[in-house]
Structure 1
């Protein structure tokens, strides 16, 4: 009986021992590495230049070491020499330094250095241990938050908030970087030009599929944030799906492990915050099969139309286009999902429909919507740079366009414009004159003669006919090229944009 009891309670005592050992564990520190780095800096200030980009005073486990490092930095940045003698006056009467030996401790640090060659290694060790301590604190915070039953913060929101903190910590953890030699930058530029020359599309970036637009923009460039803005019913989603479909249908040239240029399909991530994945797929299928989407929903289509749908669906099956229809998505969640997609399948283009439907950072309430949208656009620009892909973010325009005689959009019309214009590498507006003219049919005025009214109606009909099935794509801002306007054809029946073919503009055989 005694053996049964002791065996039953044995696992519990082991668990208690493990728990006690966890409590007794000390945070990871290396005071010797901190002393070695400070000694190297005091003996030769050039050691500071090797680590100052990524080692900060609060990275030291010993606060006194952090203060000595900070003092060295301030003296060196003034163009003076930092050593035990010059630091002595700064720390006279300092009780914290007095506890470890006072001015004699500074002299001891300076005389104990081995070589500045190891300064970078010491700095990386200090930095790595700082990150580990931060991870321990973050882990404890995650555990405590998970135990708290916060009704305003769901478990999924806590996960996203944690991801945001981890990402911020990863940003702090970037010890590499800095300057790129002009030689390397030039080589990369020449490589980009060579790739554009060999591409069938003749553009360096991701082609939009529209001839004149690609000539003006040079395609969609990696790390660019492109804002596509318009008033409702102008065709933002349609234009975005047209571009996304063409990008996914296009193959890009890339180097294989042997260095040879090979063609691979492009991968597109489409975040649809307004429509479901099924609705978006129906719209794309309608565009490509030339079958009305409302007829598809009602099942009122002919056999020939169904055959076109079937053939178009077979083509769409092979595309590497991924749709995420999560509503009110935030930046940390979007970053996590795009990172995962790039790791698993690759990634060439991100489309977000649309900007104002995204939510702010989880766990943080912002009373100012302009500030919140500014954080979102900065986050999108960060994702574009981190993943090195173009990001197209759709955006609504304010109603002030409706109050002008010329309703073409302007940069000032961007809603919650805060930093949208500032963060964007390119701002593109969509405008369809036909939409407004169709709703502004003139009526007879008081005291107007019939002839005058017929004259105005004839002018109206002429203007409407000239604008029929046409759309303007207005490049209002472009960091890499000129601004300008490109006219496209718009098929309202199938909600599809295409190149506008005029008598003096024959289609390019590449498109």
Structure 2
């Protein structure tokens, strides 16, 4: 346990480090090392931590800690300048031990896979690499006024004016796409996924309600402009010209590298594990995660009957996943029936089921609204994308053309596309 000795020795030589380290006594392997660190913490809290050796020398049970000879040995291993590297080694050793313990417990208690994944994920929540000093942060931007601005690499939404308003889907951010049933949520999500895929991203599509065959059918219909009814029997219902275009549509969709996971009640922990696998399989591509939809995500929360607690847990987990993989996460959500009782049926924030935690954790919230859904005689093909929360830009409404028969989304002429709210 040389790493632990060096770690404790550094804490003894530079007592201020006890307040900075993420390592806690339980992360140390040897019992006396855990007890020594706990004693350091207690001394520090009580204001006696400036000279640990002197303070410890007055303890009656000093032999229980290995005596003065062991404390001197710890100091001999100290190298404060390399504290960060030592800290990292201690943490990695703890993670390895925890991993083995979890796998042993899983085997002896016959845990479900999702429980194992959840436990393993929690190990990674203890991190050292989330810190940057203001000095380094300022150094990174010091040359900004004299440098060419690099275009921010973000996943396009595939809708020009929505990209202008939001700058696309940003790494580490969560987007909630919400609407009433049959408003076009899934078609819009598939449009986003195709656009991101063609732009070089790796779209990972977790479809918790719709099976893979239906997703694939919708992708082909919207890309080819085929009426979805014809997809039930392509051989019989497609025209010859549509059949002639079929191979090129398949080839075009294949270039998106969309990955579809259609298991029901997948948990965020399972999605994280599958995302890691895909990242290893496609190391040159940045993932973008799509989930259909929020309240169908499985949860291991003990309050399984409490929908507010479930949504809160899921919402925070989605944000953590976006940050962990530094990728965009786009999650669909259903709106409650309150919309239907109003004269103006355009959605509001309060219409999101269990909206409090979702509103807080999401970086971007987009509502979908179609006038034609409520007035079939209107014949209006317009789809309103109402950006009601945008952490990094304006809110407002973007108009697009939506063909409900094919699921195809198209840009409008620029003069009709956007209404920005101040």
Report the TM-score, using the length of structure 1 for normalisation: 0.72
Asked if 1:83 is matched to 2:13, the reply is no
Matched with 1:441 is none
Distance 2:240 2:145 in 1: 52
Distance 1:355 1:473 in 2: 19
Q: How does 1:405-416 map to 2 (within 5 A)?
A: 405-416=343-354
Matched with 1:109 is 71
Q: Which has the larger radius of gyration?
A: 1
Q: How does 1:16-415 map to 2 (within 5 A)?
A: 30=1, 34-46=4-16, 48=18, 52-76=20-44, 81-87=50-56, 91=59, 97=62, 99-100=64-65, 105=67, 109-110=71-72, 113-114=75-76, 115-117=78-80, 119-120=83-84, 123-146=87-110, 158-172=112-126, 174-179=127-132, 181-183=136-138, 185-186=140-141, 194-196=149-151, 204-250=153-199, 265-298=200-233, 299-345=236-282, 346-361=285-300, 366-415=304-353
Describe the shift of the 1:166–1:78 C-alpha distance in structure 2 as closer, same or farther (beyond 3 A): same
Shift of 1:393: 0.4
Matched with 1:13 is none
> Residue 322 of structure 2 aligns to a residue in which SS?
helix
Deviation per CA, 1:214-271, whole angstroms, max 9, x where unpaired?
1111111111100000001110001111111122122xxxxxxxxxxxxxx3321112
> Residue 238 of structure 1 aligns to a residue in which SS?
helix
Distance 2:367 2:87 in 1: 49
Contact 2:399 2:417 in 1 (8 A): no
Shift of 1:76: 3.8
Distance 1:422 1:191 in 2: 37
> Residue 299 of structure 2 aligns to a residue in which SS?
coil
Q: Could you say what the CA RMSD is over the residues aligned between the two structures, in angstroms? A: 3.1
Contact 2:398 2:417 in 1 (8 A): no
Describe the shift of the 1:71–1:314 C-alpha distance in structure 2 as closer, same or farther (beyond 3 A): same
Unpaired runs of at least 5, structure 1: 1-29, 147-152, 197-202, 251-264, 439-460
Q: Which has the higher contact order (CA 8 A, sep 6+)?
A: 2
> Residue 23 of structure 2 aligns to a residue in which SS?
coil
Shift of 1:37: 4.1
Deviation per CA, 1:262-314, whole angstroms, max 9, x where unpaired?
xxx33211122222222111111111211111122143222122223333223
Distance 2:384 2:190 in 1: 17
Distance 1:475 1:33 in 2: 51
Contact 1:204 1:218 in 2 (8 A): no
Describe the shift of the 1:69–1:473 C-alpha distance in structure 2 as closer, same or farther (beyond 3 A): same
Contact 2:36 2:65 in 1 (8 A): no
Shift of 1:189: 8.3
Report the TM-score, using the length of structure 2 for normalisation: 0.86
Matched with 1:253 is none
Shift of 1:394: 0.5
Asked if 1:419 is matched to 2:368, the reply is no
> Residue 219 of structure 1 aligns to a residue in which SS?
coil
Contact 1:41 1:47 in 2 (8 A): yes
Matched with 2:404 is 492
Contact 1:43 1:111 in 2 (8 A): no
Shift of 1:412: 0.9
Higher mean Cα deviation, 328-337 or 122-131?
Answer: 122-131
Shift of 1:391: 0.9
Distance 1:190 1:223 in 2: 26
Report the number of matched residues: 409
Contact 1:84 1:107 in 2 (8 A): no
Distance 2:3 2:159 in 1: 59
> Residue 419 of structure 1 aligns to a residue in which SS?
helix
Describe the shift of the 1:314–1:374 C-alpha distance in structure 2 as closer, same or farther (beyond 3 A): same
Higher mean Cα deviation, 34-43 or 364-373?
Answer: 34-43
